[in-house]
Amino acid sequence: MKKLFVILCLITFAVAFKSINDELFYIPKNFPQPVYDFTNNPLSKEKVELGKTLFYDPILSKDNTISCSSCHLSYTAFTHTDHDLSHGIENRIGTRNAPSLANLAWSKIFMWDGAVHHLDMQALAPISNHDEMDETIANVVFKLQQSKKYRKLFYAAFNDSLITGEHTLKSISQFMLTLVSANSKYDKVMRKEANISFNEYEAKGYELFKTNCASCHKEPLFTNNEFENNGLEPDKFLNDGGRIKITKKAEDSLKFKVPSLRNVELSYPYMHDGRFKSLQMVLFHYTESVYQSPTLSHQLKNKMVLSENDKINIIAFLRTLTDEEFLQNKKFQPNQY
């Protein structure tokens, strides 16, 4: 009887904690609680595996040529390095720069203008965007249903080989949720691990960063999850108003989501339209070329003054946000079949 009781207790315990699966996802010591509600989509090994397979499979695009990873590559923090505007099927060029993907469980809202309000719904946008994958979710599900491999994978994940949009999107989310980047030098310094500390330049850069940048690029995620106007002069060809597209409010004109700066060393070119090729150019922008407009964020209304050495130090600090373990993590890369 006692044995039974113990077993029952263990089961309840396991069920309560099952929604967050440690092996697949963890909350780093220096991070807040995630935003994503795992109880609606509890992680499992099989679902993450299915999500990863989908992420790397061009079956999601109309002509079966483009996968999510075409624009979001693991080695470059899941962005499309060296392309200012992302490229989709038939070489059509999109209107925005692909952001890096990491720590998505902590994001409240997605896309440069916040067009997508939930991670589960994210994949619908590239799948159906004419310039990206130009496909419909209904047809993706149809194609998946024809595939023996996917019927097996869906069965393993959901105990149901009938493929649905819900299950497809939930598993893509699951894979993206596992992309936690929290082992950069910065994190190790913050967690006081193994006597790791900033060098002189990085330490100076960190202080400058806290004064000039951290109100928007807030630690430890390096974004405040808000929309801000950081003074980019509007591009006359793209004519992208950012957040105003979604809210239709004048006060949101030229505001874009503050991007995380994790792995920023690798995610060039920078900004929503990829206009800057290097971090030097980004810092030149913040000190010399801030474009005045009514919605400019208040922190940037006064000229930012940084010496050339200050800039070098800030860049040294930004490089401490590179997380080699994340970039090289085999779990995030496609399986070798």
Partner 1 sequence: MERSIYIFKKALLFIALIFSSKMLQAQDSKSFQLNFEPIFNNQVLVLNDSFYHIDNNDSVRFSKLKFYISSIKFYNNNKLVFAEKNSYHLVDASNSKTLYININKPFGTKFNSIKFNLGIDSITNVKGVLGGELDPTKGMYWTWHSGYINFKLEGTSNLCNTRNSVFEFHLGGFAAPYNCLQTIQLSLSNITTATVLVDVNKFLSQINLANTNAIMTPSKQAVELAKQATKMFIIK
- Cβ–Cβ < 8 Å for 251, 88: no
Give me the residues that bind partner 1 (CB under 8 A), please: 37, 40-41, 115-121, 124-125, 127-129, 136-138, 141, 164-167, 169-170, 173, 246, 248
Binding mask of the shown chain, residues 239 to 258, with x at each position contacting ligand HEC by CB under 6 A? -----------------x-x
Binding mask of the shown chain, residues 304 to 333, with x at each position contacting ligand HEC by CB under 6 A? ----------x-------------------
DSSP tag of 98: P
Rounded CA-CA distance 91/189 in Å is: 43
302's tokens = 């006064």
Q: Select from partner 1, ligand HEC, none the partner in contact with residue 216, using the beta carbon and a kind-dependent cut-off of 5 to 8 Å.
A: ligand HEC
User: Is the CB of 30 or the CB of 129 nearer to partner 1?
Assistant: 129
Which stretches of the chain are DSSP H helices? 2-18, 45-55, 68-71, 119-122, 124-128, 137-145, 148-158, 165-177, 185-190, 200-212, 244-247, 279-288, 308-319, 324-328
Segment interacting with ligand HEC (CB under 6 A) among 15-23, 31-39, 153-161, 259-267: 259-267
User: Is the CB of 158 or the CB of 270 nearer to ligand HEC?
Assistant: 270
> Per CB under 6 A, does 177 bind ligand HEC?
no
Query: From the CB of 287, what's the least distance to partner 1, in Å?
Result: 35
Cis peptide before 294 (omega within 30 of 0): no
29's tokens = 């010591």
Binding mask of the shown chain, residues 199 to 238, with x at each position contacting ligand HEC by CB under 6 A? -------------xx-xxx----------x-x-x------
Query: From the CB of 174, what's the least distance to partner 1, in Å?
Result: 11
- Cβ–Cβ < 8 Å for 270, 276: yes
Nearest to 128 by CA among 64, 62, 173: 62
Binding mask of the shown chain, residues 109 to 148, with x at each position contacting ligand HEC by CB under 6 A? -xxx---------xx--xx----xx---------------
CA separation, residue 128 to residues 98, 140, 241 (Å): 16, 10, 22
- Cβ–Cβ < 8 Å for 34, 54: no
> Per CB under 6 A, does 184 bind ligand HEC?
no
